[in-house]
Structure 1
Amino acid sequence: MDEQQRIANFLEAETARIGLMTAAREAQLAALEERVFAAVTETLTPGSLSKPHGGFPHPWLPKTPGGSRLTRLGYVCRLQNGVTVDENRAPTASDVTRPYLRVANVQAGHVALGSVTEITVPRNMAKRSTLCIGDVLMTEGGDLDKLGRGTVWRGELPECLHQNHVFALRPEADKLDPEYLAFMTQTLHGRCYFESTGTKTTNLASTNSSKILSFPIPLPSLKRQHELVGEVRAMQDASQRTRRALNRQLSLLGERRQALITAAVTGQIDVTTARGVDAT
């Protein structure tokens, strides 16, 4: 019993120490996400976090966000609607089968292609809902904090369609950079706009094409948009390196905890002298 108690005491102390280190790394990850969000916001809409004007209709914005006037999204890009799933649709001679994106595939900053469904529709319908490289994908509904999330389609799948709950925004090439728009949806301005204009239910929220096209964005010159996109990418690349390092440390801490438990209960280490020992 004395030996069992020593093992229990040892593991309680050591796992608690590992738990504290794990909690610290998790807190660092959360702080990193907040820092990236703040940095992207201040890069694209300077003053949003430090000098919001507090006035109607966008109290979270400074008076001249990004040094340029706000422009409704509908003035600088068009919106393409997706295909509606209809199991009762009668087959036609022109039917084609294509991959198509659902809401679950569209994440903030990337497209998740681990599970992509195919749909069979008439060729003319497929043509109207085929994605083009440079389209900005935005979701119609989901969790409130993910509403309107945007990401750029890069042609990952040929002849890919999109569901009607996913909107495809096609910017005018000489006025709006797709990457700039996608990043703008991830700023405080983007989140506040879609959360304040979204239709909310108990667990979900939704937006519509009219609200998306009414999204007001600062519209500097295309050259300046490219520069801002480069700055945001550099910040995100740096944060991704830090994120990978923190996640690696979390993985190692988990392995260390399991190795200690296994070594202690199988007698591979002497718990009376093993504090800080390499149990691997």
Structure 2
Amino acid sequence: MSWPTAPLKRLVDPTRPITYGIVQAGPDTPGGIPYIRPVDMTQYDGVPDVKRLQRTTHEIAQSYRRSTVAAGDIVVSIGPSYGKTMVVPHILAGANLTQGTARVAPAKNVSRRYLYWALQSALAKQFWDSSVGGATFRALNLEPLGRTPIPLAPLAEQHRIADFLDAETARIDALVLHRYKQSELLGERFESLAKSVTGRTAFRSGTLPDGWSTQQLRRTIKSIKTGTTPSSDDSEIWVEHTQTDTVPWYGPSSIGALLGLTPSLKRLPRSAMAERVVPKFPSGSVLVIGIGATAGKVAYLDHEGTGNQQITALAPELDMVGRFLAWQLWAATDELRELAPYTTLPIINNDFLKSFPIAVPPAAHQRVVVERLDLAASRLRALERTAQQATNLLAERRQALITAAVTGQFDVSTASGRNVTDGVTA
């Protein structure tokens, strides 16, 4: 069974056509009217915390009263992160939108929940993708949004489909949440292990084992260098990734989890370091993000490289195992951020780093710790990859289930209760 389609604009309340919201909302105004931006919305669950919505003045909201939302309306993000959908809860009745979100007020002969699910189907998403394809600014305009094809199921069937999808996607979402909590718990356990074996826990409690010492970081490193960005005069210095005798140039986005480095998209000729256009980060350095939202993140560099001004490289002394130093600073990330000087964000500058106290065991024990943490990190990465693969599979099945239901590819009255997550266990 399948149904013909109609454009979305034919299925909305004619007195409340599809519209976007406020163009200039002004500064956040306590006591004002809340408005919904794409960034405030999750992919499926709407606004997780309405108290954190920004607010505009009553005067501005009044001038955009055409885009006021009511309980039961559907909001669709149409900015660069287009395609998020939500049903407006009663607590947000009377709120407004921005130019990055659009209101869809379903007509009386259309099930709101069915329309919500239809807007999450592959039929709708593929239409949107084709509508913005090739555009420099990939945003969804009201015109293609209004032409979104919606299957015209009979009203009673719309209610059955919505009930079915409410129940079945909740099961899938519960599995995804379970996977997320599993990964979170594994991460917390690894962090606890790292803090214990590197000595951060004992250092904080003042009970370091015999043979360990406390030293300022300056006494364990040969050099500390902060990266730079070549000036505009050096614009031709950048080289293709495929060229030989080059070194990677790292920024904060390159610093991954568990001391990892993602591949650098930019490279410089090795001669740039010799000519001091950029500083040399020697192999075996510990990289630390010094400023910004991710300040304190740590990676280990097992090859020569360089970086921008947000990256600091620490070259350890011969009796300090580089990966041990990296793991201890990784375990101390929260301490680095809490103790560092602040403006609006922590600033982990070189003077602060050099004075930061670390726990130092004998070199032989450092190597034992590194071996243990590297092995545990490898296992954690493997478990996270498995969890992510399962989560991706669940997302694919969720999408396929929604599309099949709203397009009438199966009868939901006989499909209810079947195991839509068969083969994907918690």
TM-score (norm 2): 0.54
Cα deviations by residue, 1:210-266 (Å, 9 ceiling, x for unpaired): 111122222111111000111111211222222122212211211111111122223
For the aligned residue pairs, the C-alpha RMSD in angstroms reads 2.9
| Counterpart amino acid of residue 62 in structure 1 | S
| Counterpart amino acid of residue 262 in structure 2 | A
Matched, 1:132 2:289: no
Q: Which residue of 1 aligns with 2:208?
A: 65
Distance 1:170 1:87 in 2: 25
1:207 counterpart (348, 352, 358): 348
Distance 1:166 1:17 in 2: 43
Aligned-pair distance for 1:26?
1.5
Q: Which residue of 2 aligns with 1:234?
A: 375
Cα deviations by residue, 1:60-92 (Å, 9 ceiling, x for unpaired): 71223354121111112122324543636689x
Distance 2:233 2:421 in 1: 63
Which runs of 5 or more structure 2 residues have no equivalent in the other structure?
1-154, 240-245
Aligned-pair distance for 1:25?
1.5
Cα deviations by residue, 1:135-188 (Å, 9 ceiling, x for unpaired): 111122122xx4332221111xxx632233322111112x1011001100121x
Distance 1:247 1:90 in 2: 41
8 Å contact kept, 1:148–1:194: yes
Q: Which residue of 2 aligns with 1:111?
A: 261
Distance 2:216 2:298 in 1: 16
Matched, 1:31 2:185: yes
Which runs of 5 or more structure 1 residues have no equivalent in the other structure?
53-59
Larger RCO, structure (CA 8 Å, separation 6 or more) = 1
**Superposed counterparts of 1:63-102, under 5 Å:** 63-67=206-210, 68-85=212-229, 87=231, 99-102=248-251
Q: Secondary structure at the match of 1:70?
A: strand
Aligned-pair distance for 1:101?
2.1
Aligned-pair distance for 1:122?
8.0
Distance 1:162 1:3 in 2: 59
Aligned-pair distance for 1:4?
2.3
Q: Which residue of 1 aligns with 2:163?
A: 9
| Counterpart amino acid of residue 150 in structure 1 | V
2:412 counterpart (271, 274, 278): 271
Aligned-pair distance for 1:201?
2.4
Cα deviations by residue, 1:79-114 (Å, 9 ceiling, x for unpaired): 2324543636689xxx89764222332345122224
Q: Which residue of 1 aligns with 2:44?
A: none
8 Å contact kept, 1:18–1:253: yes
Q: Secondary structure at the match of 2:222?
A: strand
| Counterpart amino acid of residue 377 in structure 2 | Q
Q: Secondary structure at the match of 2:178?
A: helix
* Overall identity of the aligned pairs, in %: 26
8 Å contact kept, 2:225–2:281: no
Specify whether residues 212 and 107 from structure 1 end up closer, same or farther in structure 2 by C-alpha distance, changes over 3 A only.
farther
Distance 1:223 1:70 in 2: 17
Matched, 1:183 2:333: no
Q: Secondary structure at the match of 1:206?
A: coil
Q: Secondary structure at the match of 1:12?
A: helix
Distance 2:167 2:238 in 1: 63
Q: Which residue of 2 aligns with 1:55?
A: none
Specify whether residues 12 and 83 from structure 1 end up closer, same or farther in structure 2 by C-alpha distance, changes over 3 A only.
closer
Q: Which residue of 2 aligns with 1:254?
A: 395
Specify whether residues 206 and 223 from structure 1 end up closer, same or farther in structure 2 by C-alpha distance, changes over 3 A only.
same
Q: Secondary structure at the match of 1:260?
A: helix
Specify whether residues 270 and 234 from structure 1 end up closer, same or farther in structure 2 by C-alpha distance, changes over 3 A only.
same
| Counterpart amino acid of residue 216 in structure 2 | R
Distance 1:85 1:245 in 2: 38
Q: Secondary structure at the match of 1:22?
A: helix
How many residue pairs were aligned?
256
| Counterpart amino acid of residue 2 in structure 1 | A
| Counterpart amino acid of residue 314 in structure 2 | L
TM-score (norm 1): 0.80
Specify whether residues 90 and 151 from structure 1 end up closer, same or farther in structure 2 by C-alpha distance, changes over 3 A only.
closer
Aligned-pair distance for 1:192?
4.1
